[in-house]
Amino acid sequence: MNSKHSLTRGRTAARWRAGAAVMAVAALSLTACSGDNGAATDSDDDSAAPVVEETGPVTIRFSWWGSDTRHETTQKVIELFEEKNPNITVTPDYTDWGGYWDKLATTVAGGDTPDVMTQEERYLSDYAARGVLADMNDLPIATDKIDSTVLESGQIDGGLYGVATGVNAYSIVADPAIFEEAGVEMPDDTTWTWEDFVDIANEISANTPDGTYGVQDFGGNEAGFSIYARQHGESLYDADGKLGYSEQTLTDWNQMMLDIIDGGGEPDAARSVEIAEGGPEQSLLGTNKGAMGFWWSNQLSAISAAAGRDLVLLRAPGESEAERTGMYFKPAMYYSVSKTTEHPAAAAKFVDFLLNDPEAGALILSDRGLPANTDVREAVAGDLAPADQQAADFLASLSDDIVDGPAVPPEGAADIPEITSRINTELIFERMSAADAAKQFTQEAAAAIGQ
C-alpha cells in the first residue's frame, strides 16, 4: 500500500477502537441470539455445533472493497455460483478501500455483519478478538491445496479466522532499460546483499540524467523492514503479538535509507513524499524515472502498464546471507465468515467456491492476488497476462526457500502503516537520526498494539 492508503487505514483503525465497546456488545448480543442456527460457537469442550446444509432458499451477503473492475468481476463470479447453487442467493455489498472499513465497522456495530466478508491482515486480529469472525476450521471449506505458510497467516490462537484469497510477495521491481542506460549489470538476486543494493542504487543515479534515480524511497512501508528483521533472526511482531525486533536492527535499517539519500540513490525527501502519495502510475518506475522499487508482486502488471515496457521481479537483497529467509508469501486479502451468520453452510460453500472452483478462478485470475489454491493457480496460468504470469513464476521460484511467514499482526496493528509513513518522513527530511527514528517508532508501535 502507498502512504495515502496507510493514512486512511490508520484513521479508520482509530475510529474502530473508538467504537470497540459498542461493537463488542453487538457481537456478544448477536452470538446470544444466534441460538441453534448452526453457526460455529464456542463451548466448554471447544467442539463446534455441526454445520447443516439448508435445502430451501437462502440469501447471504458478501462484502468486499475494490475498483469498478473488481466489482464487475465479482458480480460475474457470484452469478456463476448462483447458477451452480440455485438455492443460494448472494447479495453483493461493496465499496472502495477508503470507505470499506468504516462501513464494515458500522454494520457490525449495528448487528448486521455480512455473512462473508473480505479482511486484511492488519484488521484480522481486531475482528477475531471481538468475536466477529467464525473459526473456519469448523466449516466445510477445503484448504488442502493452500500452502501451509499461507494458511497459517490466517490462524490466531489455533483458530482459522481468514483464508487467503490469493498470495503475493514483497519484492523489488526493476527496469532493465534503466540499468542498461546506466551501464550497470542487473544483479544476481540469489546472492546480492543490502550493501550491493545501496551501491547499485547510487551508481545508477550517478550515471543517468538528472531526475532518474536508482530506487524509489521504500522506508514508508513496514513490509520492507519486516523482511530485513526476519533476515536477522527477528520479526516485526512475535508470536505473542509483541514487537519482535531490536532497536539496533531498526536503526541499521533507517541508516541504510540515509545512506541511499546521501549517495543520491533516491530523490530528495520532498519529491519522495510526493511520489508516495501516488500509485503505480506516479511511481518512479511507472514514469521511467527509476531503476528499482519495492512493490508487492501482484502490482507488477499495473506498474509495467504505466511504464509501457517490460519490468522484472527480483528477490529482496540479503536473502543468501540471512539467518533465515526474510521474504514470505503474503495473503493479498482474506475471506472470512461471520460468527453470527444464520447460514454457515451456505457461507462456507461460497467461500469454498471462491477458493477452489477452477471456473471461479478463471474469472478472478489475479484480481485478489494469484490464487491461493495452487491447483487453481496452475489451471489459470495460461490465461494470465504476461506480467501476472511472470509474478506467478516468481512466486513458484520462491516456494522452495520460504519456510514460514510472519505472525498475524496483533490488535492495533492497523495503526502501524501511518506511524511508519510519518516517522519515515521525519527520517528522510533528516529531522530525526536513524537511532531517534527507531526509538520513536518503537514507542509509538508498542502503544498502538498495547504492549
Tens-place pLDDT, residues 162-171: 999 999 999 9
Whether pLDDT at 104 is above 90: yes
The pLDDT value given to residue 120:
94
- Name the residue with higher pLDDT: 72 or 405: 72
User: Rounded CA gap, 187 and 317, in Å?
Assistant: 10
Q: Is the pLDDT of residue 17 over 80?
A: no
Q: Is 52 exposed, middle or buried (0-12, 13-18, 19+ CB in 10 A)?
A: exposed
CA-based torsion, 192, 196, 198, 203: positive or negative: negative
Average pLDDT over residues 355-381: 95
pLDDT of 239 > 50? The answer is yes
% of the chain beyond a pLDDT of 90: 80
Say whether 32 sits in a helix, a strand or coil.
Answer: helix
Question: What percent of the chain shows pLDDT beyond 70?
Answer: 89
Q: How confident is the model at residue 448 (pLDDT cuts 50, 70, 90)?
A: very high
Domains of the chain: 3-166+332-396 (3.40.190.10), 170-327+412-448 (3.40.190.10)
Q: Which residues pair with 61 in a beta bridge?
A: 91
> Biggest alpha carbon distance in the chain?
70
Local structure of residue 59 (DSSP, 8 states) = E
**Residue 181 pLDDT grade (very low, low, confident, very high; cuts 50, 70, 90):** very high
Of residues 357 and 277, more confidently modeled: 357
Select from 413, 432, 410 the least CA-distant residue to 423: 432
- Cβ-count burial 19-34 (b if 16+ within 10 Å, e if not): ebeebbebbeebbeeb
pLDDT category of residue 52 using cuts at 50, 70 and 90: confident
Residue 14 CA to residue 261 CA, distance in Å, equals 33
Model pLDDT, residue 210 = 95
142-146, 213-217, 324-328, 341-345: lowest mean pLDDT where? 324-328
pLDDT at residue 20 tops 70: no
* Of 372, 355, 349, nearest in space to 140 by CA: 349
Average pLDDT of the chain?
89
| Lowest-confidence region among 37-46, 81-90, 200-209, 335-344 | 37-46
- Whether the pLDDT of residue 397 is over 60: the answer is yes
What average pLDDT does the segment 380-387 reach?
Answer: 93
User: Which pLDDT does position 200 carry in this prediction?
Assistant: 98
For residues 181-203, average pLDDT:
98
Q: How confident is the model at residue 270 (pLDDT cuts 50, 70, 90)?
A: very high
Confidence of residue 374 (pLDDT cuts 50, 70, 90): very high
For 196-237, the pLDDT digits (tens) are 999 999 999 999 999 999 999 999 999 999 999 999 999 999
pLDDT of 97 reads 87
pLDDT of residue 349: 98
Supply 167's cell numbers.
Answer: 498470495
Separation of alpha carbons 13 and 417, rounded Å: 11
Residue bearing cell 540479503 = 318
Contact status, residue 76 vs residue 364, Cβ threshold 8 Å? no
Please give the DSSP secondary-structure letter assigned to residue 332.
Answer: S
- What is the CA 190 to chain-centroid distance, rounded? 24
3-state SS, residue 49: coil
Contacts made by residues 199-206, CB under 8 angstroms, sequence distance 24+? 200/291, 200/292, 201/260, 201/263, 201/265, 201/266, 201/291, 201/292, 202/260, 202/263, 202/264, 202/265, 204/178, 204/179, 204/265, 204/291, 204/292, 205/263, 205/264, 205/265, 205/266, 206/264
Q: What is the pTM of this model?
A: 0.83
- Say if residues 51 and 139 touch (Cβ distance below 8 Å): yes
> According to the model, what pLDDT value does residue 48 have?
54
pLDDT at 29 over 50: no
Please list the alpha-helical segments (H only) found in 171-221.
176-182, 194-206
What is the average pLDDT across 23-49?
Answer: 39
Residue 50, pLDDT score: 67
Cell 484513521 maps to which residue?
11
